[in-house]
Structure 1
């Protein structure tokens, strides 16, 4: 079959899932408000571009410029010597260009290179707003589409003419682009889904999708483990028209007798992998998610998909069941449950899992039909913009009510970089490299920082100061400090109400300055007649003339010889007192031993003449004639 017939067949397959009428495509919009001049003030709808980075959850104010040349922006503005770079202190530049003659993305890219902060494309026909989509990437367009970082929007023809007229009349036209309601936030949990594909050989879009999944995995798992989000993966499938189910093309692209199909990866039916190989792996990945979800670990889907991309690529001929089973086993998932979930791929019957996927492709409520890959849907609104970690995370975070977003939403991944320009107007200490400015996905906030356990307090805009016991560790608590000749002094007090006070030997406010006190000049030291004074930084030194020795505690001088004589006599007295105490002790011992000896002798003599208390009484003998 020729290429033309192949593309025709794929067109039939695609139309089959959509139905007998056209797919329902929902244009995602954001609000655009004209704030000046007074005569055209008002709010209008604009359609979010499907590339670049819309500021989901935030807004952006700017001044509109309509170039006099290159008004369709199909050429580089450098050729015309035009720059849209805003000057410091001025509003960002929003460039208004006309639709036609080249891709929407190329217009935005040319304006971005010239310094534009956002692009408004005025429609050239009266019609309902459409989404500015990316062109089919080729080698030349893929690079610049990937590098578009500014937001863009399509506006209606009539509104565009109104803006042009005001600008040509000399009015300064200021507008505000607002994406805060682009993603609804009905509760404290964000539900989002990614329509993806396991095929890794479909060119630039596949490479972009695979790279995104790897980059976003960490943030997605944090959100899921914390219960902040509910993520669901989806896979697009088509079915083969009944008239073609027995054809070679449908058999190679479909399973379950033509009910679920995917295009041939290499678009070559004679070699390589078939479309049905992609459908089977897509089904396996859906079942991995279901089995992981049953064990309350839905985030394991991200591990499986990223590991499968790395370990089982098509180019290495490892895109097969054996390699997939190895990945499943390494993650501790139940392979038998996954296989049971996948069902019989050869049965002439519906597959429950894939049937649900086809039903989910049909748009519901505010979401249109899913017809392209990749598609990201957040809180039932289709995401428009660059498929990149920071941009997608910003869109998901805008689905939380303000102040309820998780910590990952306040991380560097979604920072708005407003703090890079004049520190965002917040307090900063350039010496200690401290700032109260923090970027969030909703814009910057001025909040006094917490540094090394020390909390700074203040309004965050003009004033922040360290508080608590550890405040002196951080830039000396904002107090004066200095060091010279190996000596360091600080005016910071780590306790009490007074925070800065010059240390002894200095005078001043303790914050900006502390000056050395000249104790010698102010007659505060070395007042004795023999003393001489020398001032030092933070202190002083006193010395005495001749052989005299200075005693600082008494501010006096004494003779060094006198000190030595007194020291010698003191030693003599210590020796004499020691001898006297030894002699007295010996005398007392002698007297005690002598007294004990005399007492024992006396007791022995007296015992011969009378009984003592310790002896038994002698019996009294009476003669018989007296009885």
Structure 2
């Protein structure tokens, strides 16, 4: 089956073989020595970060050992010293991937790499290894520019270096992208498949990262962006085969490879074609409504909400994203047409025609591919590098502010709440503005955490949740009474309070306890229903006791209460009298003791006090 997929790819390649693969070039100017001064072409590598719109001067060195750069260099021999020119390392082609040569030189301190061709031929583009290569991880870490130079020119550089000359060159990317006016047209050839390995992961990360900048440029009228998707056709002889039916729509006219490269499981190629078509129509409908930048919102949200790994890559999930962004679903469906029709699809037919290169742009054969002002971008698919390439497409002095500043500030939450969940009643939103664009993430409000997907649902959770919009539960007030279905306990759901029944979220209805025979069941009871409760009364001279659901005599109750009160009063009086008697007895005894002690002290001293003067004898002596 994999062979069949490869066969379809060959059909695509043979179809565009008559077209052109254009090598994007930059200028390499030798400034010293004087004997070899001059300007030469060099082919920009399809990895690393070319300095679009700028130039870089450096000193060229040719290593004595490891001249093909396929092994790691010892230490950092190419790291330039403070105040000196950056080092450009010249390595020979052959024996290993272009990207590995550049990676090894970068780790050794090089600022740029020149690769010398080993045969006399027109310049080619240095590409990355296959996406499933074990070396793919380091490719994303390459940050220096590189270029391929012709064999004859490289021999001239090598001779000058071997003769002891100082070879200085200048790599210039200022004319790599045409810059005729104050608007830049750029297009991205992409794919909705998220199961194609390293390149798919890289593409998805780029779209998320670049969305904010792309929308700023588009909203300001500085750029005109167009997304594209590659498809191919199934040979007429195979249109009824199982393979073509699983990979193609419109009877074999538009195909995509099976995402897992296995026809027996997972999603099929036709699922990818249909979603690609839907994303094209999202752009067209958004463009008609004068908001083409909404395409970036749809693509990023679809990647997050509808991944293949979670089995959500389907029509239902896509339509939920479309509705959250306020797009016209009917117009999108009309644009997509019937995938089962035995006829051309105008949208996909236009895409196939656009794959063939025109003017200064070559054929599109690699995914992803970025085209700026009809020139294919070469280099790493990274926000800063792409922004440089786009900004180099503006006529001088017409660049927007985003090109002159490293900061991009957006507030996508102001427009349709960014397509995120919101509670207008409580003025709560899941939309958060960031440097890269908005994210839909359930918030925390007054210490209460909301949980959900952030797009269509957020719910208050944990202690205190009833304070925030009643926890999203039912609540109502009537006759000076307020009832709520919110239970302020972690993990609890909305639950109608006692006296009500319902789902607790949208409604709670009063329970008629009287009608359902849940109250006032005693023989002489009568029941009256109230909102959220009930009232019971007894006939005649009886009193209703609610806890026991019974009626008792009011007189018996009054008599019993009177006797109880009388006994309480009598007991209280007795206690008071006894207490008064004890106090009186204590004070009387204390008084008697003090008088006796005073009389006795006149005749004899007491141990506990000083001798009392004999006033009688004194009076007799003075008489």
What's the TM-score once normalised by structure 2's chain length?
0.65
For residue 15 of structure 1, what is the aligned residue in structure 2? 13
Listed as ranges, the gaps of 5+ residues in structure 1 are: 415-627
SS in 2 for 1:30: strand
Secondary structure, in 3 states, of the residue corresponding to 2:134?
A: helix
Task: Kindly report which structure 2 residues correspond to 1:38-77, keeping only aligned pairs within 5 A, or say none.
Answer: 38-77=34-73
Q: Tell me, what secondary structure is at the counterpart of 1:153?
A: strand
Gap runs ≥5 in structure 2: 409-623
- Identify which of 319, 322, 333 aligns with 1:328: 322
Aligned counterpart, 1:206? 200
With 379-388 and 22-31 compared, the bigger mean Cα shift is at 22-31
Residue 367 of structure 2 corresponds to residue 373 of structure 1: yes
Give 1:398 deviation, angstroms. 0.5
How far is the alpha carbon of 1:109 from its aligned partner?
Answer: 0.3
1:93 to 87, 91, 98: 87
Counterpart of 2:57 in 1: which secondary structure? strand
Count of residue pairs brought into register by the alignment: 408
Please name the residue that 1:362 is paired with: 356
Deviations 1:325-354 (Å, cap 9, x if unpaired)? 100000000000000000111111100000
Equivalent-residue separation in structure 1 for 2:131 and 2:345 (angstroms): 34
Shift in Å, 1:24? 1.2
Residue of 125, 139, 145 corresponding to 1:145: 139
- The 5-angstrom pairing of residues 110-121 of structure 1 reads 110-121=104-115
User: Which residue number in structure 1 is paired with residue 222 of structure 2?
Assistant: 228
Aligned-partner SS, 1:187: coil
Deviation at 1:277, TM superposition (A): 0.3
User: What aligned pairs does 1:75-474 form with structure 2 within 5 A after superposition?
Assistant: 75-78=71-74, 83-138=77-132, 140-412=134-406
1:378–1:399 Cα contact (<8 Å) kept: yes
Q: How many Å apart are 1:40 and its aligned residue? A: 0.2
Separation in structure 2 between the aligned mates of residue 288 and residue 82 of structure 1, nearest angstrom: 50
Q: Distance in 1 between matches of 2:180 and 2:173?
A: 16
1:562 maps to which residue?
Answer: none
1:30 is aligned, of 19, 23, 26, to 26
1:551 aligns with: none
CA contact (8 A) 2:69 2:101 kept: yes
Counterpart CA distance in 2 for 1:171 and 1:26 is: 35
| Distance of 1:22 and 1:118 partners within structure 2 | 34
Partner of 1:502: none
Equivalent residues of 1:17, 1:238 under 8 A apart: no
CA RMSD of aligned residues (A): 1.2
TM-score by length of 1: 0.64
**SS of equivalent to 2:27:** strand
- In the TM superposition, residue 14 of structure 1 has moved relative to its aligned partner by 2.1
Shift of 1:8: 3.9
Alignment partner of 2:94: what SS? coil
> Can you list the C-alpha shifts for 1:154-195, whole angstroms capped at 9, x where unaligned?
000000000000000010000000000000011110000000
**Alpha-carbon contact 1:56-1:398 (below 8 Å) kept:** yes
Give the Cα separation in 1 of the matches to 2:58 and 2:283. 44
Q: Conserved in 1, the CA contact under 8 Å of 2:132 and 2:197?
A: no
Q: Does 1:6 pair with 2:4?
A: yes
Task: Check 1:413–1:245 CA distance in 2 against 1; reply closer, same or farther (3 A cut).
Answer: farther
Q: 8 Å contact 1:312–1:324 — kept in the other structure? A: yes
Structure 1 counterpart of 2:591: none
Q: 1:138 offset after TM fit, Å? A: 3.5
- 1:97–1:122 contact (8 Å) kept in structure 2: yes
TM-superposed deviation, 1:13 = 3.6
- Distance (whole Å) between structure 1 residues aligned to residue 76 and residue 390 of structure 2: 36
Q: Deviations over 1:34-69 (max 9, x none)?
A: 000000000000000000000000000000000000
SS at match of 1:83: coil
